[in-house]
Every structure is written in structure tokens, then in C-alpha cells.
Structure 1
Amino acid sequence: MNRRNLITAIIGIIVIITGVIVYATHFVVSAQPIPAGKFIKISNVDLAPKGKVIIVEQSWYGCPVGAAASWAIYDVLQHYGNLSYKLWYSDPYRTPANIPGLLFTNFTSNSIVDFYIAYVYNEYLNASYNGTPIPQNELVPVGEQIIKEEYTQMGLPSQVAQYIIQYETQVPIQQYGEPSAFYGKPSHLNFAILISGPNGTYIVTTPIVNRLSLHFHFNHFIFNRD
């Protein structure tokens, strides 16, 4: 092997090794378990418009977690704008069944806070929010496409959907041993709240229904006060 070929081969090996290291590092980091019911900081980047804080929720019409959490979310958001909603009950065929909750239909901000929500599936987890049937084995990929489209239409940065998808489908929950999307059966995008503002971006992908806890996270992480 002449010198030129040797150098080329060495460079090729270095590139391959570097790629493997980067991939392995990314996989290990993304696979680190996160605690249930707690916001975690996932980025120092502010995804909100200048001078704003965004709260982004992902749920589905029949979600018992979303139904239970809706009361705490309402309790927080009513201080930052006018929130329209209708009374609803979670999927009657899932356990726990018929959890009373609020379906949010609109939010008009009168503060620095903007709220967005995407309901992905219908009440019975067999179709999209608009009634398009979804096979059970396609709930996750179809759900991913739905929230990408919905958040894009809402004018949110693409990173919002990317983070929610990543942390629901790739990052295990410590108490579950697997990502939240795969904890229940059939697998589906379950529930998430992403908050982003001047202090960075935070996410929770499991139940957070205590209003005092939600108030604490909101004030501490976003406004940097208790």
C-alpha cells in the first residue's frame, strides 16, 4: 500500500470511529432514564417568541392522565389568560375509566404565557382526533406525524414536536423501565407538557396532577422563583 492509500485508509478509519462514538454517545444520553411526574431540563435553548413563555401539551381525547392533569393545568393557566374548555370523560374502556376532565378548546393570553395543545387520538384510541381510523400497531408513528403537523400549523418551532416525540418514545421512565409511549397497551403517544422560556426548555411525559407541584415547576423553572 503506497503512502497516499495508507493516509486515505487511516482517515477513513478515523471517520468511522468518530461516527460510532458520536452515535453511541447520543444513544447512551438519550437512553438515560428520567423520573416520573417531574419536569426535567432538556435544553438551554428558549423556543418561545421573544418575551414569551410557551406551555405545550400533548394528550388525546380519552387519555385518563390528561383528564386528571387538566384540572391542575386549568388552575395554573387561568391566571395567565382566558381558557375555553368543555367537560369530558376519559375512555370508558380503559383502566382507570371515565375520569372527569377538561378538554381545552382555546386559550387567549393576557400575559407573557402562550398555551398550545394537540389532542392526537379520539376517545377510544382507535382513530385520530378527527376520526380517521388508525391500526393499533401504527398509533405511535401516526401520532408522531399528527403532532408534527398540528404544532407546525400552530406556528411552533419544529424542535417542540421533536422533543416531545423523543422523550415519549426513546427515553425510559425510571419507575416504568421503558418510555411512556410503550408503558400502556396498545403503545401510543400518551401525555406530555413542554415549557420553554428564558430559562430554557423543560418537559414531563408522565402524570403531574398536583396543582401545587405544577405551580412550583412553572414558577421555579420559568420565572426562576419559588
Structure 2
Amino acid sequence: MIKKTISYIAAILLSLVFFTLVVLPSLLPNNLFHFIKVSNKGYSENVSIYLISWYGCPFGASLSWPLYDVLSHFGNVTVETHYSIYESDVGGYVPGLLFLGFIPNSTVSFHYIYLYNQYLNASPEGTPMKNLVNGGIEELRNEAPAWVYQLILKYDINDSDIFTGFSIVSPAYMGNPPHIPTTLIITGPNGTWILIGYLNSLNPSSLAVSSEGQISKSHMLSLPSVEESASTIMSIINSVE
């Protein structure tokens, strides 16, 4: 009886190990949270950067810091400090920046499009959205170039293979509620790269706080994880020039 029990426990443990090491990695997104090159084709003669996000997004808040750092090398960036919504799985509010303007002093252009409000239930202007995916893609259709719209439609909404690795659902339907996630597109003469979500080097949970307070830009920009992420973004820009 004891031997059978031990064998039974061993079988369970072996199954758990197999699931953890073999099955689980195949279920998790393998192309989320880092840049992937989606085309050797560029959509502009010079480097163009597009940020697609929403006001209260923890991912967008996290990504805003290295992006701001990088953009500061190419022009005058106007921002305001801001907190994401509170998300328990993230661990709190994520301090971030909302982009308000960009005046280039180089050939690099930057465009930001916020699709939803702070609480992910309406447009930035406050128009309620029953279906956030459809509403978001319509916002994008009206505000972005056709090629940006097509890339988001393909990789964020329709593609359940490249970004999940197991054909579960596309990135837009991984959220609760489903919505177009924060996406960064960098294109230039030598190709186009997309980041959906945040960079692995700067998990929003590492920045989360339990309550909102004053945000120190200088402190946030000096964090090693922000500097590492900024270096990654800069390397992508250099690769497409």
C-alpha cells in the first residue's frame, strides 16, 4: 500500500515537472514583451515611431519611461506624469508619463495614439464603447496611417500564432476585457519592428506602488531597468535607419 502511494505521488510530481518544463512554456506567449521584426520593409523614408496605448494602461506606463528617455535624444518631448489604473495582478498603480507633444530636432518622428480612457470603458473623449476591440480599431482607423492600422489589425487582433505560439487567442483577446494592447511600432528604411505589451527588462510590477503620490522623473529615468530598456529601443531605432 505504501509503495503504491509513493508511486502515485511520484507520478503526480513527474507530471507536474513535465507540465512546468514542457507544456507551460508552449502555452505562454513567446513573442510578447520583446521586439520582433515583422518586415524587412520600412513604411517611411526616415525613422517613424508609433505608440498605441490607453490612458490607464500599466504596460503603457512602464514603457513610457524608456521611450521618453530615447525620444529626448531626437527632439523636445512634452509629457505629464500620470498613474495607471490599479491592477491587482500588477501589484498596484504604475507611475508613468502621458505624451502630449513632440517637436523633432532630427529626422526621427514620433506619434502617440491613445485609444481608450483611464478606466478602459470609453474613448479618450469619454464616448462609451460596448466592444473595446472594435471601438479601438475604429479610433485607430481615424487617427493613424493605413499601414499602422493594418499592422495592428494583423498582429494585435487577427494573429493568434506569432504572438502566442500556441494558437490560443490573439493579443487583443488576452486582456480582460478584450482590447487593443499597448503596442510600439518602429519603422525605417531597413525594416519594421513591433513590441506588444512591455519590455521584459521593465515589468510594470517592478514599478507598481500601493498608493498614488508625487512622481520623480529623474528618479524613474535613473532606474537600471529603465536605462536597459531605453538601450533596447535605441538599438532598434539604429537598426532600421
Compute the TM-score of the two structures, normalised by the length of structure 1: 0.74
Counterpart among 142, 164, 172 of residue 152 in structure 2: 164
Counterpart among 101, 104, 123 of residue 106 in structure 1: 101
Matches within 5 A, 1:26-175: 35-48=31-44, 50=45, 52-92=46-86, 95-96=89-90, 97-135=92-130, 138-151=131-144, 156=145, 158-172=146-160, 173-174=163-164
Give the direction of change, closer, same or farther, for the CA distance of 1:224–1:133 in structure 2 (3 Å limit).
closer
User: In 2, are the aligned partners of 1:61 and 1:122 still within 8 Å (CA)?
Assistant: yes
Give the direction of change, closer, same or farther, for the CA distance of 1:92–1:222 in structure 2 (3 Å limit).
closer
Compute the TM-score of the two structures, normalised by the length of structure 2: 0.70
Secondary structure at 1:144's aligned position in 2?
Answer: helix
Give the direction of change, closer, same or farther, for the CA distance of 1:139–1:108 in structure 2 (3 Å limit).
same
Counterpart among 172, 179, 183 of residue 192 in structure 1: 183
User: In 2, are the aligned partners of 1:73 and 1:211 still within 8 Å (CA)?
Assistant: no
Give the direction of change, closer, same or farther, for the CA distance of 1:222–1:72 in structure 2 (3 Å limit).
closer
For 2:108 and 2:196, locate their aligned partners in 1 and report how far apart those are by CA, in whole Å.
Answer: 20
For 2:31 and 2:179, locate their aligned partners in 1 and report how far apart those are by CA, in whole Å.
Answer: 19
Secondary structure at 2:239's aligned position in 1?
Answer: coil
Secondary structure at 1:224's aligned position in 2?
Answer: helix
Give the direction of change, closer, same or farther, for the CA distance of 1:34–1:150 in structure 2 (3 Å limit).
farther
Is it true that 1:204 corresponds to 2:204 in the alignment? no
Q: Which residue of 2 aligns with 1:27?
A: none
Give the direction of change, closer, same or farther, for the CA distance of 1:91–1:113 in structure 2 (3 Å limit).
same
Identity %: 38
For 1:90 and 1:144, locate their aligned partners in 2 and report how far apart those are by CA, in whole Å.
Answer: 21
RMSD: 2.1
* 4+ residue segments displaced more than 6 Å: none
Superimposed CA distance per residue, residues 72-107 of structure 1 (whole angstroms, 9 cap, x where no aligned partner): 111111111100011111123664342111000000
Paired residue type of 1:199: N
Once the two structures are TM-superposed, the CA of residue 65 in structure 1 deviates from its matched residue by 0.4
User: In 2, are the aligned partners of 1:34 and 1:171 still within 8 Å (CA)?
Assistant: no
User: In 1, are the aligned partners of 2:164 and 2:171 still within 8 Å (CA)?
Assistant: no
Gaps of 5+ in 1: 1-32
Once the two structures are TM-superposed, the CA of residue 170 in structure 1 deviates from its matched residue by 2.2
Gaps of 5+ in 2: 1-28, 203-225
Paired residue type of 1:178: V
For 1:145 and 1:161, locate their aligned partners in 2 and report how far apart those are by CA, in whole Å.
Answer: 9
User: In 1, are the aligned partners of 2:50 and 2:110 still within 8 Å (CA)?
Assistant: yes
Secondary structure at 2:37's aligned position in 1?
Answer: strand
For 1:212 and 1:192, locate their aligned partners in 2 and report how far apart those are by CA, in whole Å.
Answer: 19
Once the two structures are TM-superposed, the CA of residue 190 in structure 1 deviates from its matched residue by 1.2
